[in-house]
Amino acid sequence: MSSLRHRFPALAGSAGEWARFDGPSGTQVVDVAITAMTDWMTSGSTAAAGGPFAAAQECQSLLDRTRVTLGQLFGADPAGFSFGTNTTTFNMAFANAVTETLRPGDRIVGTRLDHDSNVMPWRRACARAGAEHVLADFDPATGVLSPESVIALIDDRTRWVTVPMASNLLGTMPDLPPIIEAAHAVGARVYVDAVAAAPHHRIDITALDCDALVTSPYKWYAPHSGVLWCKPELMAELGWWRVRPAPDAGPRKPETGMPNFEAIAGVDAAARFLLEEGMESLARFEADVFAHLWDGLGAIAGVRRIGPTNPVLRAPTAAFVVDGVAPSIVATRLAEQKIAVWDGHAYAVEVVHHLGLAESGGVVRAGIVRYIEHSDVDRLLAAVDAIARRG
Ligand SMILES: Cc1ncc(COP(=O)(O)O)c(C=O)c1O
């Protein structure tokens, strides 16, 4: 499978000397997205959406066509897509809107595998409504969250089940269909955080049958932004916080103020890039590079890998610790060699606590994205091996 590094202008020149394993916290932007943003901002189309003149109409058609592209990428009704700043802002707005529908004694079921943005907004919603917030545990030995552990918490008081499609720290991808089925069987709704899965695997929202799903396009080669998909009838029902003149129907209802049109132009282009490349082919490429990373880490004495062992049915994100060396020191030493990784909890606060790693500084996280290649992995493995030997 051929390299796509040349599609990422930020990796040319001296910046290209870095091995960028920081993809799970945000990827480099693909060429067509950069061009689309520049074209948008130089086109004279910058305006507010929906007015009688050409630029205002162009703003509206940008929103409409990007929803159609997203509908193709994610197998969903285009009318369900809203644009925003990032996932956390959408999670807070969503949980805020749900708060008004909760009654004392209701229950929201979440998981300990989630990024905190899919935990705290729900906890706060429950606290405000007098509802109960419970979290399903994953197995700390394997990093796997069994559907049964979530289903066991779903009862007839449950109004929402909030789940990750992939863990941003461990790469675990829970089996969501049985969870969604169990939630719907008691009349509960399901909110899916697809941020860590969307860059790596094909998502079919219609087949999944969740009620809402969030993704952050800046993790899949687009500019910084957030996208919410919500079943249109649910979107219409929920009491979003809004100012009076703002649209009270349709996908702009959850949006606040003017959308970031230039970012949306980039999102449209990046989504087309993914459609053209094909998520299945992208996943195959990444699984191959990830297997090299995962096996290589496993072969280094003094390195402990944390997370599921299956290189395919997971996000290609490796979490590991080096015996006797704090994760922050490992990350700093790697940075000295122009290898970018993150250390700590990456906002997966519950995950590091459940693993018992909160006190020792969490983990080192190295993520594979489409522009990471075997040669980058070789550099990382050699550097980690040297760190493990030196202690
Ligand atoms: C799984 C997951 N959920 C949510 C978020 C929050 O995304 P955002 O930065 O767009 O608010 C992240 C960010 O890293 C993430 O990895």
Residues 255-311: tens digit of each pLDDT: 999 999 999 999 999 999 999 999 999 999 999 999 999 999 999 999 999 999 887
Q: Please determine, for residue 313, whether its predicted confidence score (pLDDT) is greater than 90.
A: no
Residues 177-196: what's their mean pLDDT?
Answer: 98
pLDDT on residue 50: 86
Q: What is residue 13's predicted lDDT score, i.e. its pLDDT? A: 87
Q: What is the pLDDT of residue 312?
A: 75
Residues linked to residue 172 through DSSP beta bridges, in sequence order: 314
Per-residue confidence at 146, pLDDT binned at 50, 70, 90?
A: very high
Residue 385 forms part of a structural domain: yes
Q: Is residue 82 part of a domain?
A: no
Assigned domain for 342 exists: yes
Q: Is the pLDDT of residue 366 over 90?
A: yes
Mean pLDDT on 351-372: 97
H or E stretch covering 90 = helix 87-99
Instruction: Name the burial class of residue 101, with classes exposed (0-12), middle (13-18) and buried (19+) by CB atoms within 10 angstroms of its CB.
Output: middle
pLDDT given for residue 23 in this prediction: 98
Q: Using an 8 Å Cβ cutoff, are 70 and 251 in contact?
A: no
Q: What percent of the chain has pLDDT over 70?
A: 100
For range 71-92, the mean pLDDT = 98
Residues 1, 281: contact at Cβ < 8 Å?
yes
The mean pLDDT of 195-203, rounded to a whole number, is 98
183 and 282 assigned to the same domain: no
Please determine, for residue 172, whether its predicted confidence score (pLDDT) is greater than 80.
Answer: yes
Separation CA 101–CA 98 (nearest Å): 5
DSSP 143: -
| Ligand 1 geometric centre to CA of 268 (Å) | 20
Q: What does the pLDDT average to over 245-253?
A: 93
Let me know if 44 is exposed, middle or buried by CB neighbors in 10 A (0-12, 13-18, 19+). Answer: exposed
From the CA of 346, give the closest atom in ligand 1: 14
CA 225–ligand 1 middle distance (angstroms):
11
Confirm if 64 and 83 have CB atoms less than 8 A apart.
Answer: no
User: 73 or 3: which carries more pLDDT confidence?
Assistant: 73
Distance 26 CA to ligand 1 centre (A): 9
- Residues 283, 384, single domain; the answer is yes
Contact partners, residue 357, CB within 8 Å, separation at least 6? 306, 321, 363
User: Tokens 């096996």 correspond to what residue?
Assistant: 295
Q: What is the pLDDT of residue 287?
A: 96
Cα 25 to ligand 1 centre (Å): 8
The domain in which residue 172 lies consists of 87-191
Spatial distance between the Cα atoms of 28 and 223, rounded to a whole number of angstroms: 9
| Residue 181 confidence (pLDDT) | 98
Tell me, yes or no, if the pTM score tops 0.95.
yes
Find the CATH number of the domain harbouring 314. Answer: 3.90.1150.10
Question: What pLDDT was estimated at residue 147?
Answer: 98
Q: Kindly state whether residue 150 falls inside one of the protein's structural domains.
A: yes
pLDDT at 249 over 80: yes
Task: Write out the two tokens for 289.
Answer: 């590079």
CA angle 113, 116, 120 (to 5 degrees): 115
Total domains in the chain come to 2
Q: pLDDT value at position 149?
A: 98
Q: Which of 191, 212, 234 is the last residue of a domain?
A: 191
Give the pLDDT confidence score for residue 391 in this predicted structure.
Answer: 73
Residue 85 CA, closest ligand 1 atom number: 10
CA–centroid distance, 115 to ligand 1, in Å, is 7
User: What pLDDT was estimated at residue 2?
Assistant: 86
Q: What is the CATH number of the domain that holds 184?
A: 3.40.640.10
Q: Which of 174, 191, 208 is the last residue of a domain?
A: 191
CA-only gyration radius of the chain, Å: 21
The rounded Å distance from CA 118 to ligand 1 centre is 9
CA gap 119, 228 in Å, rounded: 17
Whether residue 180 lies inside any domain: the answer is yes
Looking from the CA of residue 25, the nearest atom of ligand 1 is: 14
Atom of ligand 1 nearest to the CA of 89: 11
For atom 13 of ligand 1, the residue with the nearest CA is 25
Regarding whether 285 and 380 lie in a shared domain, the answer is yes
- Report the share of the chain in percent with pLDDT over 90: 96
CB within 6 Å of ligand 1 — which residues?
25, 86-88, 115, 117, 164, 168, 193, 195-196, 216, 226, 347
Instruction: Give the residue from 134, 160, 191 where a domain finishes.
Output: 191
- Tell me, yes or no, whether 41 lies in a domain: no
Q: Is residue 378 part of a domain?
A: yes
Q: Whose alpha carbon is nearest atom 14 of ligand 1?
A: 25
Based on the domain organization, do 284 and 383 belong to the same domain? yes
- The candidate with the shortest Cα–Cα distance to 70, out of 185, 190, 230, is 230
In a domain, 316, yes or no: yes
Dump pLDDT digits (tens) for 7-66.
Answer: 999 999 888 899 999 999 999 999 999 999 999 999 999 999 989 999 999 999 999 999
User: Measured in angstroms, how far is the CA atom of residue 216 from the centroid of ligand 1?
Assistant: 7
The mean pLDDT of the chain is 97
How many Cβ atoms sit within 10 Å of the Cβ of residue 322? 22
